[in-house]
């Protein structure tokens, strides 16, 4: 437990404290500012920091002592920036864009102005992220703006580190020493995008349920960014040392303002222990027959990996790879796939170079903010689409949290239909939603969904309202532990590959791949997509083209632009991806991604369903080759983009 003890101050009489010269500013209030912001103008106040002693195990950390000073709330004039529209995962741009004067401040103030007053004034908000370059500067800026906008307290992860799933957990689960609960969070991340002075930065706002802001809020934020003329900031508020756990308290015109720096792994581990059988997983990880490797790709997952896998579950520390968080992710690309997680791929025996070292039985990787995951067995890759289907198929018997059954399952539209087959066989409610975790969140808040996933290496459950990479790893370890509960002393363990192949034998196999064309010309990308939509008006012409390309491919029986009507709130989301559906259950999906910071990213999803269990062991590339050929030629990918090959294949 963290204990807070205020420092007893011996201060001189106020009469002998030299007055600080008044700084003259001309302030005006305008109707464009919300009432909670206007009420804070014209104030100066005394600041007192408190000594805080924090303990975690046998570690004790102490904050600085007390200082005195005057403090002002300033209204800064500004003008709008173009293009501050939050995408499915917030606003992402190059660091140099965010470093422009007023750029970050405009977006933050636009967010405060978009929220209900009671979620700002007197509220508690979380400010943290994946630790990428510019994060520490952004934390200080947002903290000073929070103080100026009447926020009561800010919770910050130590060193500004807090995974996206941990932020969601903190919003939902953490209770402050004074009984406070968070109403939302600014998450500073560009997820799986590279970091560094010339790379990407991002910011998004999560709501009181722990999930991303819905479109009704992000639309207001964007609208505000187009008209903003001023923002509030407490420029004289000193930077808080976010490397040290503890609370720094300030006295303001509307009462106290606190900055609480804490180790979020404590709260996160507590939640994980309510979901999984840690003892069962520990027996597996400490078995001499089982070997394990976890690669954080120098992202924020490294701040949790040692606490969970080594200290709690008994794995050897040598099983952790790239688990020191770095602002530039070690110069790498923190995207957990076969292209970018090169070191893990080699260690698991899937690389091009041969090695005499026997690969581990299980390997996993995380992305920059630890909400994505990749699962590997010895010389074996598990597709994310298969992963969520296998977790759902085994959850009730393997994971205590789901022992009473699943409320339902859901996947994003581009994700393969492997989960659909599981849902049908187990008689579960099933939902197909657009890409974006907020759609899952609506279902979960309504008690309609327990497990969900996206093909883009995101898997999660209703324990929070974000995808959760470490949760997915613990889910897989739970399944392996259950399959081997009576076998740890046997000759051969049930492996990752065994589990996947048994799943295929039961449910059939969805051969699946995704081609990403990153940073292509945005105009050309839109033309390509428009042409694919235009072609859908005549399926007979489409099938003629398909047969000219590959005669061994089934006919297209339906084609559309995916549209989703939310069963919870009735909202409709249009233009969510272009689909070509084949008679044998195969699919081609084309979609423009909103996760890049420049240009456009075209994603092509290619899926071939095989029911015959005797044919589920084919090489994936061979099985998909005919459909890949059709996808690239039907879309005229090279003609529109000038690319002869994708940037990434997963």
Q: Kindly state the percentage of the chain with pLDDT values over 70.
A: 88
* 43 lies in some domain: no
pLDDT at 8 over 50: no
Check residue 516 and report its DSSP letter.
Answer: E
pLDDT of residue 594: 58
| DSSP code at position 333 | -
Please identify, among 262, 278, 309, the residue that sits at the C-terminal boundary of a domain. Answer: 262
The answer to whether 160 and 154 are in contact (CB under 8 A) is no
Please give the average per-residue pLDDT across 139-161, as a whole number: 97
Is it the case that residue 6 has pLDDT exceeding 50? no
From 191, 249, 387, 593, active-site residue: 191
- The mean pLDDT value for 590-610 works out to 83
Q: What is the pLDDT of residues 539-554, one digit of tens each?
A: 999 999 999 999 999 9
* Residue 9, number of CB atoms within 10 A of its CB: 12
* CA distance between the termini of the chain: 44
In a 13 Å sphere around the CA of 478, the CA atoms on its Cβ side amount to 26
pLDDT at 648: 83
Rounded Cα gap, residues 399 and 395, in angstroms: 5
Cα(268)–Cα(26) distance, integer angstroms: 46
pLDDT value of position 553:
92
Q: Which residue has the tokens 């069963």?
A: 567
Closest CA relative to residue 577, chosen from 443, 456, 413:
413
pLDDT tens, position by position, 267-313:
999 999 999 999 999 999 999 999 999 999 999 999 999 999 999 99
- CA distances to 111, 552, 553, 557 from 539, in Å: 45, 17, 15, 8
User: In 462-569, at which residue ranges do the beta strands (DSSP E only) sit?
Assistant: 509-520, 556-561, 564-565
Per DSSP (E only), the strands in 331-413 are 362-366, 373-377, 380-382, 409-412
Which domain, by its residues, includes 125?
68-262
Task: Kindly state the DSSP code that residue 351 receives in the 8-state scheme.
Answer: S
**CATH code where residue 161 lies:** 3.40.120.10
The pair of structure tokens assigned to 586 is 């195969």
- Segment 458-515, tens digit of pLDDT: 999 999 999 999 999 999 999 999 999 998 887 899 999 999 999 999 999 999 999 9
**Confidence check: pLDDT of 66 > 70:** no
- Cα 57 to Cα 344: distance, rounded to the nearest angstrom: 31
Which of 235-249, 251-265, 425-439 is the least confident region?
251-265
Is the same domain home to 236 and 286? no
Same domain for 338 and 460, yes or no, is: yes
Q: Sorting pLDDT into bands at 50, 70 and 90, what band is 25?
A: very low
pLDDT for position 256: 85
Distance CA 415, CA 452 (A): 11
Q: Which of 234-238, 247-251, 393-397 has the highest mean pLDDT?
A: 393-397
Of 229, 262, 295, the last residue of a domain is 262
Mean pLDDT of 12-30: 34
Active site residue 191: yes
Q: Locate all alpha helices (DSSP H) within 435-486, ordered by sequence.
A: 437-445, 469-483
Tokens 């800026």 -> residue: 141
Domain membership flag for residue 15: no
Cβ atoms of 290 and 362 within 8 Å: the answer is yes
Are 213 and 142 within one domain? yes
Query: What gap in Å lies between CA 264 and CA 259, rounded to an integer?
Result: 14
Tokens 């009447």 sit on residue: 150
pLDDT band at 7 (very low <50, low <70, confident <90, very high): very low
Flag whether 59 is in a domain.
no
Closest CA to 192 of 309, 306, 332: 332
Task: Kindly state the DSSP code that residue 353 receives in the 8-state scheme.
Answer: S
Same domain, residue pair 273 and 247: no
Q: Are strands 153-157 and 124-129 parallel, antiparallel or unpaired?
A: parallel
- Residue 347 in domain: yes
Q: In this predicted structure, which of 59-68, 406-415, 422-431 has the lowest mean pLDDT?
A: 59-68
pLDDT of 649: 86
pLDDT tens digits, one per residue of 558-585:
999 999 999 999 989 899 999 999 999 8
Q: Which of 122-126, 426-430, 442-446, 569-573 has the lowest mean pLDDT?
A: 569-573
Instruction: Answer whether residue 331 is part of any domain.
Output: yes
How many helices (DSSP H) and strands (DSSP E) are in the chain? 19, 30
Q: Is 587 helix (H, G, I), strand (E, B) or coil?
A: strand
341 is a domain residue = yes
Closest listed residue to residue 65, CA positions, set 48, 82, 85: 48
Give the CATH number, domain containing residue 643: 3.30.310.50
Residue 56 lies in a domain: no
When pLDDT is averaged across residues 635-639 and rounded to a whole number, the result is 95
Q: What are phi and psi of 141, to 5 degrees?
A: -65, -45
Among 338, 6, 332, CA closest to 193: 332
| Coil, strand or helix at 395 | helix
Q: Which two tokens stand for residue 508?
A: 């059939």
Domain end, chosen from 452, 485, 507, is at 507
What's the CA gap between 438 and 440, in Å, rounded? 5
- pLDDT tier, 71 (very low <50, low <70, confident <90, very high otherwise): low
Whether residue 498 is found in the same domain as residue 544: no
Residues 255 and 128 in one domain: yes
Instruction: Report the C-alpha gap between 499 and 378 in whole angstroms.
Output: 12
Helical residues (DSSP H) of 376-495, grouped into ranges: 384-398, 418-426, 437-445, 469-483
H or E stretch at 632: helix 620-634
Instruction: Tell whether 370 and 425 lie within a shared domain.
Output: yes
Instruction: Find the DSSP H helices in 115-248.
Output: 135-148, 164-173, 215-225
Do the bridges between strand 153-157 and strand 255-262 make them parallel or antiparallel, or are there none, so unpaired? parallel
Angle between helices 469-483 and 496-507 (to 10 degrees): 90
User: Is the confidence at residue 189, as pLDDT, over 80?
Assistant: yes
Question: What is the rounded average pLDDT for all residues in the chain?
Answer: 88
Angle, vertex CA 645, rays to CA 632 and CA 580, nearest 5 = 25
Can you tell me the distance from the alpha carbon of 372 to that of 471, in angstroms, rounded to the nearest whole number?
A: 10
Q: What is the mean pLDDT of residues 632-647?
A: 94
Among 74-88, 92-106, 360-374, which is the least confidently predicted range?
74-88
Cβ neighbours of 414 (radius 10 Å): 27
Say how many domains are in the chain: 3
Same domain, 311 and 398: yes
Q: Tell which wins on pLDDT, 351 or 270.
A: 270
Does residue 445 sit in the same domain as residue 497?
yes
Same domain, 345 and 291: yes
pLDDT band at 255 (very low <50, low <70, confident <90, very high): confident
Residues 485, 561: one domain? no
pLDDT, tens digit (0-9, with 9 covering 90-100), for 386-403:
999 999 999 999 999 999
**For the chain, how big is the Rg over CA atoms in Å?**
26
d(CA 243, CA 62): 11
Is residue 245 situated within a structural domain? yes
pLDDT of 42 reads: 37
Same domain, residue pair 313 and 255: no
* DSSP-based three-state secondary structure for 582: strand
């Amino acid at each position: 437990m963290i204990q807070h003890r205020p420092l007893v101050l011996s201060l001189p009489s106020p009469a002998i404290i030299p007055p600080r010269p008044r700084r003259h500013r001309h302030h005006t209030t305008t109707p464009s500012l919300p009432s909670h912001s206007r009420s804070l103008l014209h104030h100066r106040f005394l600041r007192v920091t408190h000594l805080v002693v924090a303990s975690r195990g046998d570690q004790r950390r102490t904050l600085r002592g007390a200082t005195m000073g005057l403090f002002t709330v300033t209204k800064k004039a500004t003008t709008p920036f173009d293009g501050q529209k939050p995408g499915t995962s917030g606003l992402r741009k190059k660091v140099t864009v965010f470093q422009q004067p007023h750029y970050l401040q405009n977006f933050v103030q636009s967010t405060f102005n978009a929220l209900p007053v009671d979620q700002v004034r007197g509220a508690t908000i979380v400010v943290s992220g994946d630790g990428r370059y510019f994060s520490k500067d952004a934390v200080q800026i947002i903290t000073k703006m929070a103080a100026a906008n009447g926020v009561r307290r800010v919770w910050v992860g130590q060193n500004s580190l807090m995974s996206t799933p941990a932020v969601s957990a903190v919003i939902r689960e953490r209770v402050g020493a004074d009984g406070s609960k968070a109403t939302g969070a600014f998450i500073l991340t560009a997820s799986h995008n590279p970091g560094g002075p010339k790379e990407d930065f991002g910011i998004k706002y999560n709501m009181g349920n722990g999930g991303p802001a819905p479109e009704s809020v992000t639309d207001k934020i964007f609208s505000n960014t187009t008209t903003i003329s001023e923002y509030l900031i407490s420029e004289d508020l000193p930077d808080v040392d976010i490397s040290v756990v503890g609370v720094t308290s300030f006295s303001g015109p509307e009462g106290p303002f606190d900055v609480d720096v804490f180790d979020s792994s404590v709260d996160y581990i507590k939640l994980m222990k309510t979901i999984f059988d840690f003892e069962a997983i520990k027996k597996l990880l400490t078995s001499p027959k089982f070997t394990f490797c976890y690669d954080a790709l120098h992202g924020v997952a490294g701040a949790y990996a040692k606490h969970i896998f080594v200290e709690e579950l008994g794995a050897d520390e040598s099983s952790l790879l790239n688990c020191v968080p770095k602002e530039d992710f070690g110069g790498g690309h923190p995207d957990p796939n076969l292209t970018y997680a090169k070191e893990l791929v080699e260690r698991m025996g899937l690389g091009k170079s041969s090695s005499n070292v026997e690969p581990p039985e299980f390997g996993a990787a995380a992305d920059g903010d630890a909400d994505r995951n990749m699962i590997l067995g010895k010389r074996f890759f598990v597709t994310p689409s298969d992963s969520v289907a296998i977790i759902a198929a085994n959850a009730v018997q393997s994971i205590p949290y789901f022992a009473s059954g699943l409320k339902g399952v859901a996947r994003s539209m581009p994700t393969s239909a492997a989960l659909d087959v599981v849902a049908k066989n187990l008689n579960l409610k099933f939902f197909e939603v657009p890409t974006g975790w907020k759609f899952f969140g609506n279902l979960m808040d309504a008690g309609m969904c327990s497990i969900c996933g996206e093909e883009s290496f995101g898997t999660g459950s209703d324990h929070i309202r974000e995808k959760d990479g470490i949760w997915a790893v613990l889910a897989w370890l739970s399944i392996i532990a259950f399959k081997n509960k009576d076998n740890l002393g046997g000759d051969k363990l049930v492996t990752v590959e065994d589990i996947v192949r048994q799943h295929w034998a039961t449910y059939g196999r969805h051969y699946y791949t995704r081609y990403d064309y990153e940073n292509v010309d945005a105009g050309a990308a839109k033309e390509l997509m428009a042409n694919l939509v235009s072609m859908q008006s005549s399926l007979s012409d489409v099938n003629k083209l398909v047969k000219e390309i590959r005669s061994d491919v089934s006919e297209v029986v339906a084609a559309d632009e995916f549209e989703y009507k939310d069963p919870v709130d009735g909202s409709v989301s249009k233009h969510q991806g272009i689909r070509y559906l084949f008679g044998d259950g195969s699919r081609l999906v084309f979609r423009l991604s909103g996760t890049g910071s420049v240009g456009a990213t075209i994603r092509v999803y290619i899926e071939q369903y095989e029911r015959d269990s005797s044919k589920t062991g084919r090489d994936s590339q061979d099985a998909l080759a005919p459909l890949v050929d059709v996808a690239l030629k039907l879309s005229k990918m090279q003609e529109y983009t000038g690319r002869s090959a994708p940037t990434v294949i997963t």
